[in-house]
Structure 1
Amino acid sequence: MKALFALGLLAATIISAPAYAFQQVTHKRIAMDAVQYMQDHPDTTEYNRLKAWVNAAGYTMAQFSEVLGQGAYDVDDFQDTFLCGAVTGDCVYAPVFNAGASLVNYTSYWHFQNHTRGPDVHGNDLGGYNYDLLTVWGDIDNLAATWLVGDYMDDGNGGMTGWCFWSCADDSEYNTYSITEANYRQGSTSSKSMYDDFEEMPFQPVDNLGEYWYQQFLANPTAQTLGYVMHTTDLLQPHHVWTTSALNHSGWESWVADYYDSENLNDDTLVTQALADYTPLAASATDIRPLLTQGGDIAYANGGIVLSSTDQADRVQVARVVVPHAIAMVVLLLDHAALQVNP
């Protein structure tokens, strides 16, 4: 296991780091720009089918685009993942030093797909965040694992305990294992013992999150649940497929948000070119994960340099690949969704 840094360094380092994902505003822009692209290209997308469904539900496309984008934005705010203190048994959804700051919730650990390794312990073809098995990592990863060492996943009253055994508070807040983890299992297998120590937790990958919410959308089609699916554009964020919370992670995300417009990262021509790099889902496909993984493959193959470089030219080069491919991935997901709700 990788060496852990001193606890005293933790708060100062992590307090400076925003959420581990494309910034929420970027998630929203990507989703809304995908709708705009479809509107601009009705002959090569399923825009007309999508619009017919949206209008039949009583909404304008502008309203749909806003709700879709907000859904993609909101996933980072989910309070659905509680970890419990190894000593106290107190279960919380974010680190105690997070109070009053706009920082990561534990839900963000479901937002990775590790392309540096093969199958995970659950049986997924590519796993999610697992500190003990990271191939690349840095200070934020080490410090979080130090802070959370021995902490376990909330699995309901009377479930797992930490180091205190009989004296733990055992104040289950959500039963994360039986709700969130179960939702994101998506055909894989799990046991509680996999989640009894944070530093070895094999979080489910983000494509399983996307598959869960897509199935929820199909069962009850709403723009909001479809928007949750679109948070999987994290697969086009290189840190999420190389899998690290560090190595310029937050700086890169801030840069993308700052330069999204000035560098024309949503360029129509680049999105058109990006669409050609995907194999679209068949209309009859029941699992969207193959498409999502294609997005991760693109980011992994083209984005690694931003983990080590903050050079403007390097960032522009990567961003003008991954952002248009993120928009293109959303277009293809919306195409598939339109065919399901309006055959």
Structure 2
Amino acid sequence: MKRILIGLLISAVLCPAAQAFKQETHRRLVEDAVTYMQNHPTTTGYADLQAVAAAGGYTVAQFAQVLGQSAYDVDDFQDTYFCGAVTGDCVYAPVFNAGASLVNYTSYWHFQNHTQGPDVHGNDLGGYNYELLTVWGDIDNLAATWLVGDYMDDGPGGMTGWWSNDDSEYNTYGITEANYRQGTTSTKSMYDDFEEMPFQPLDNLAQYWYDQFLANPTAQSLGYALHATDVVQPHHVWTTSALNHSGWEGWVADYYDSENLNDDTLVTQALGAFTPLSSSATDIRPLLTEGGQIAYANGALVLSSTDHADRVQVARVVVPHAIAMVVHLLGHASAQITQ
């Protein structure tokens, strides 16, 4: 049985389904948002963005590249280790890191579950929690079977395997989970079995990095926060690693240009779907929740259909809204620094 699972997990890793928008799509969404601001300077706060870029020693084009690369890089974070229930051996990717270049366990922080209400931490919308999924598929089940009983690395001297083995590599609970807690509460016992882990939602990840940007403005920290475009990816708000997840993301990357998914007119229309953050606000999560609501209301079709026309229909809603959300965030962030 274990050998069969290893083979299935290798297949799942080679066709990763929990990585959200493809990394290159994350880059394009951010760069296209900057381009949109350049093309609409009087309605987007472009002057503030230009000032922030210059203060950091960048041209706007260079700033866009660093922001986009940083949004890309979040999927490569090696900040989340799970430890074997029996061995206590801790790794950051499936099959003993064989798939690390494609999908890491950090991906489980990249969901905002709109099919459920408040979570055990106190978030109004929780993140990935296998036990509470309302839609799921083969990849979800395979991961839960492979990782059954595995616990989150909480540093040396914390939780251990069956024989008190403790091969801690990184204090995920004390660093990553704590960073993404964002005023909620957690206990180690919440993370002692993968199949019941209530991961913090993506908007908390974005809020953490946005706060880092406000405290010490860098293009990298702001770019990390912009990985929040995952909330406009339907699988990440319906919350499943399966159900055409990987195929949809690959399709978006492949047809991004030929289907004109970043159409300027559609982005302009999408901007109006968001409630702009007030100039005094530092909590960006209400805006991100609106992005998730748009994907939840308009994106379910791509969980069940691979038809090209169906995918175009959904993509021409969610991609412009993802770009529009970034425009709002960049305008707000820039104004916070230049005020």
Identity %: 79
Per the TM alignment, residue 305 of structure 1 is displaced from its structure 2 partner at its CA by 0.4
Give ranges in structure 2 of 5+ residues lacking alignment.
Answer: none
Per the TM alignment, residue 102 of structure 1 is displaced from its structure 2 partner at its CA by 3.7
Which residue of 1 is the match for residue 309 of structure 2?
313
3-state DSSP class of the match of 1:181?
helix
Which residue of 2 is the match for residue 3 of structure 1?
none
Which residue of 2 is the match for residue 106 of structure 1?
105
Q: Where do residues 138-217 of structure 1 align in structure 2 (5 Å cutoff)?
A: 138-162=137-161, 164-166=162-164, 168=165, 170-217=166-213
What is the identity, as a one-letter code, of the residue corresponding to 1:78? F
Matched, 1:130 2:129: yes
Q: Where do residues 202-281 of structure 1 align in structure 2 (5 Å cutoff)?
A: 202-281=198-277
Per the TM alignment, residue 56 of structure 1 is displaced from its structure 2 partner at its CA by 2.5
Per the TM alignment, residue 49 of structure 1 is displaced from its structure 2 partner at its CA by 1.1
Give ranges in structure 1 of 5+ residues lacking alignment.
Answer: 1-5
What is the identity, as a one-letter code, of the residue corresponding to 1:296? G
Which residue of 2 is the match for residue 11 of structure 1?
9
Return the alpha-carbon distance in structure 1 between the equivalents of residues 156 and 33 of structure 2.
43
3-state DSSP class of the match of 1:264?
coil
CA contact (8 A) 1:111 1:206 kept: yes
CA contact (8 A) 1:10 1:144 kept: no
Return the alpha-carbon distance in structure 1 between the equivalents of residues 78 and 6 of structure 2.
27
Structure 1 runs of 4+ with >4 Å offset: none
Which residue of 2 is the match for residue 79 of structure 1?
78
1:278-297 superposed Cα distances (whole Å, 9 cap, x missing partner): 10100101200000000000
CA contact (8 A) 1:278 1:294 kept: yes
3-state DSSP class of the match of 1:286?
coil
Per the TM alignment, residue 8 of structure 1 is displaced from its structure 2 partner at its CA by 5.6
Per the TM alignment, residue 20 of structure 1 is displaced from its structure 2 partner at its CA by 2.1
Which residue of 2 is the match for residue 324 of structure 1?
320
CA contact (8 A) 1:13 1:140 kept: no
Which residue of 1 is the match for residue 48 of structure 2?
49
1:210-259 superposed Cα distances (whole Å, 9 cap, x missing partner): 00000000000011100000101000100000000000000000000000
CA RMSD for the aligned pairs?
Answer: 1.2
Matched, 1:302 2:298: yes
Worse-superposed segment, 115-124 or 88-97:
88-97
Return the alpha-carbon distance in structure 1 between the equivalents of residues 159 and 101 of structure 2.
30
1:187-218 superposed Cα distances (whole Å, 9 cap, x missing partner): 11000000000000000000000000000000
TM-aligned CA distance change 1:96 to 1:238, over 3 Å: same
Per the TM alignment, residue 338 of structure 1 is displaced from its structure 2 partner at its CA by 1.0
Aligned length: 335
3-state DSSP class of the match of 1:30?
helix
Return the alpha-carbon distance in structure 2 between the equivalents of residues 175 and 98 of structure 1.
17
Which residue of 2 is the match for residue 336 of structure 1?
332
Return the alpha-carbon distance in structure 1 between the equivalents of residues 279 and 182 of structure 2.
21
